[in-house]
Amino acid sequence: MVASGRTRARSAPAPLWAGVGTSTLSETDLAAGDPAPRRLPYHLLALTTAGHGTVEIDFAAHACRPGTLLWVRPGQAVRFGAEPGLDATLITWNRDVLSAAEITGVPVDDLPGPARWQLAGEDEDAVITEVAQLGVDCARHTSGPVAAGLLRHQLAVVLLRIALLTGDGDAAGASTSEARTFARFRRDLEAGHPRSRRVEDYAARIGCSVRTLTRASLAITGRTAKQVVDDRVALEARRLLACTDLSVAEIGRRLGFGEPTNFGRFFHREVGLSPGAFRAELGVRTGAEGGAELGRRVPVQRGAAD
């Protein structure tokens, strides 16, 4: 977990003894009065059960109402709004608790994936039923290999149902080979972005040309491979600025910038603010009643209301 100097009175909804846990938003410090973004080292599903509000995942705002389902991946920056009456059932699980065979076809790795669904009809009924059953099982069973297997099975069922809600997304217009190339690129980028921002390095590890990698990136995201790399580094910089007390210079070093000035120029080019101004505006936002947007010049993607 990334170190931070912030302290909170209540604990986060960490997974329990079997690597799976359930709780309600109101029981955790995620609903506390301090609305600062934070990073969790495990997966979190949030099914809104009451009220209306906004939840930010990696600085994109998602409108929530009963039936809204959110998926926060490990390491993403998340901030639940402090709107009165907003509550949700939370499911958390460790990233290695399920085997690939248990969740075939589910995008459950650490890479960014679909984040929001507005459930309705039979889909809503099915997901609510499975989430409720997992909550019952977590409360009833507190030890033993059979109980642990049951909890993992219940979690897998929830995730499989969610996978059935997910369309093809950005990959709809891409070929199978382009989708595979980009998936490999994105996995390598997750591990390699602190060490290299060179597209040539990623292409060499994948075993393709820069042109092939760029073509795959454009087909999947509409962005060049170089833009995808820079987007990932800029996102990590924003996460660290928002969720830790690390100095700007230290964040730059963690992301492979030898000189703070080089990091500052990169960040300003990608985000539109200096690192210090971004952090300062975050401080203003988190202290403001009602919660203004993070950074007046930072593009914030908003989730659909329905």
- What digits encode the pLDDT tens for the residues 262-273? 999 999 999 999
Mean pLDDT over 36-54 rounds to 93
Output the pLDDT for position 299.
39
Neighbouring CB atoms inside 10 A of 284's CB total 13
Neighbouring CB atoms inside 10 A of 147's CB total 16
Residue with the larger pLDDT of the pair 283 and 44: 44
Residue with the larger pLDDT of the pair 14 and 216: 216
Structure tokens at 208: 């393709």
User: Which domain, by its residues, includes 150?
Assistant: 20-167
Nearest to 164 by CA among 223, 214, 106: 106
Output the pLDDT for position 49.
95
Distances (CA, A) of 67 to 27, 126, 166, 187, 203: 19, 12, 16, 31, 42
Secondary structure letter of residue 59 according to DSSP: T
Q: Which residue has the tokens 């369309």?
A: 167
Domain check: are 68 and 161 in the same one?
A: yes
Mean pLDDT over 25-44 rounds to 86
Mean pLDDT over 281-289 rounds to 55
Mean pLDDT over 28-41 rounds to 83
Domain check: are 150 and 282 in the same one?
A: no
The model's confidence at residue 114, banded by pLDDT at 50, 70 and 90, is: confident
254 lies in a domain? yes
Mean pLDDT over 85-95 rounds to 94
110, amino acid identity: D
Output the pLDDT for position 222.
94
Least confident of 25-29, 257-261, 299-303: 299-303
Domain check: are 243 and 270 in the same one?
A: yes
Percent of the residues in the chain that have a pLDDT greater than 70, as a whole number: 84
Last residue of one domain, picked from the residues 133, 167, 201: 167
Output the pLDDT for position 110.
59
Chain mean pLDDT for the chain: 86
Residue with the larger pLDDT of the pair 36 and 241: 241
Burial 104-136 (b: 16+ CB within 10 A, else e): eebbbbeebeebbbbbeeebbebbbebbeebbe
Looking at beta carbons, which pairs linking 23-27 to residues 24 or more positions away fall under 8 Å? 23/89, 23/90, 23/92, 24/49, 24/87, 24/88, 24/89, 24/90, 25/80, 25/86, 25/87, 25/88, 25/89, 25/90, 26/87
Output the pLDDT for position 103.
84
Q: Is the pLDDT of residue 293 over 70?
A: no
How many structural domains is the chain composed of?
Answer: 2
- What digits encode the pLDDT tens for the residues 227-271? 999 999 999 999 999 999 999 999 999 999 999 999 999 999 999
Contacts of 32 (CB under 8 A, 6+ apart): 8, 9, 10, 82
Q: Is the pLDDT of residue 276 over 80?
A: yes
292 lies in a domain? no
Angle at 281 (CA atoms; ends 277, 285), nearest 5 degrees: 170
pTM for this prediction: 0.84
Output the pLDDT for position 294.
39
300 lies in a domain? no
Domain check: are 213 and 249 in the same one?
A: yes
The model's confidence at residue 8, banded by pLDDT at 50, 70 and 90, is: very low
Secondary structure letter of residue 171 according to DSSP: G
Domain check: are 158 and 189 in the same one?
A: no
Ramachandran angles phi, psi of 31, nearest 5°: -100, 15
Domain check: are 179 and 193 in the same one?
A: yes
Q: Is the pLDDT of residue 105 over 90?
A: no
Residue with the larger pLDDT of the pair 164 and 264: 264
Q: Are 117 and 162 in contact (CB under 8 A)?
A: yes
Distance between CA atoms of residues 158 and 89, nearest Å: 13
Distance between CA atoms of residues 241 and 238, nearest Å: 5
Last residue of one domain, picked from the residues 148, 167, 186: 167
Domain check: are 160 and 26 in the same one?
A: yes
**What Rg, from alpha-carbon coordinates, does the chain have?**
20
295 lies in a domain? no
Q: CATH code at 43?
A: 2.60.120.280
Last residue of one domain, picked from the residues 141, 167, 193: 167
